[in-house]
């Protein structure tokens, strides 16, 4: 799992905590037990400065995330994007505890029954770019459904139609029907439970929903449900790149 940072003057314990290796007290335990190396030598001083030095924990190179933290998570089935502990299990519980105070925000939340690509960031400007309607970032969803789609389903999605009591019709979307119970849909917007509501309006019920692409960025194949990875600069560019429609 890659981790990236332009290192600034920072104590060893703060560095490890920001890198997601545990809370301050937890990483101090690692340091006291001799599991942390600085430039190849065991360091038991939590206050040692790390700028310009190689840091390892149990033999693994550690590089703390940048001031702006960007994460991709494979959200599993049954996990909530809420921050309310009464709705546990939560996405927050899948991330290092040390990151919870950094203000990570979710880009385009997924409901509890939807799996797949979830982006989290501390960068408000990136959040705005990925969610503002003017950007029209495309999201791709894999859909399984029960029922029979009408013959003109793809045309209706392309034209847009009203869902629920909303006056404004949906934006043009591309629907690709792949089997009698399976389809892929590409959207440029993210209304509340939009895919499920659109398919219900088309006369079928979604039984499984998975988001696997945002912009031109695909959910990494090596991520398993519940796992996360840090996003590199090139990944952020792909998230914002127009990929279809």
Q: Which residues are catalytic?
A: 111
Instruction: Please state, in angstroms and rounded to a whole number, the distance separating the CA atoms of residues 160 and 119.
Output: 27
Query: CB atoms < 10 A from the CB of 207, how many?
Result: 14
3-state secondary structure of 134: coil
User: Whole-angstrom distance between the N-terminal and C-terminal Cα of the chain?
Assistant: 32
In this structure, the chain runs to a length of 245
Q: What is the largest CA-CA distance in the chain?
A: 69
Phi and psi at residue 195, to the nearest 5°? -60, -45
- State the Cα angle at 83 between 99 and 5, rounded to 5°: 20
Phi and psi at residue 100, to the nearest 5°? -65, -25
123-126: long-range contacts at Cβ-Cβ below 8 A with a sequence spacing of 24 or more? 123/68, 123/70, 126/68, 126/70, 126/236
Structure tokens at 8: 């600034």
Residue with tokens 């029209």: 136
Instruction: Please state, in angstroms and rounded to a whole number, the distance separating the CA atoms of residues 55 and 37.
Output: 6
Phi and psi at residue 50, to the nearest 5°? -115, 0
């Amino acid at each position: 799992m890659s981790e990236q940072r332009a290192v600034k003057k920072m104590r060893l314990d703060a560095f490890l905590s920001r890198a997601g290796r545990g809370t301050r007290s937890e990483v101090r335990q690692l340091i006291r037990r001799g599991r942390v190396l600085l430039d190849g030598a065991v360091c038991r001083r939590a206050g040692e400065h790390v700028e310009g030095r190689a840091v390892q924990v149990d033999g693994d190179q550690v590089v703390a995330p940048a001031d702006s933290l960007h994460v991709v998570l494979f959200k599993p089935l049954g996990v909530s994007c809420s921050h309310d502990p009464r709705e546990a299990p939560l996405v927050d519980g899948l991330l290092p505890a040390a990151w919870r105070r950094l203000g990570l925000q979710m880009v385009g939340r997924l409901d509890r029954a939807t799996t797949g690509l979830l982006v989290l960031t501390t960068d408000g400007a990136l959040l705005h770019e990925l969610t503002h309607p003017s950007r029209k970032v495309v999201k791709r969803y894999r859909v399984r459904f029960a029922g029979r789609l009408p013959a003109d389903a793809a045309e209706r999605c392309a034209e847009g139609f009203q869902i629920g009591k909303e006056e404004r019709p949906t934006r043009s979307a591309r629907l690709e029907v792949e089997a009698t119970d399976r389809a892929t849909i590409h959207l440029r917007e993210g209304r509340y439970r939009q895919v499920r509501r659109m398919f219900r309006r088309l006369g079928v019920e979604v039984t499984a929903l998975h988001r696997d692409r945002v912009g031109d960025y695909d959910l990494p194949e090596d991520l398993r449900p519940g796992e996360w990875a840090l996003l590199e600069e090139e990944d952020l560019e792909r998230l914002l790149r127009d990929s279809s429609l």
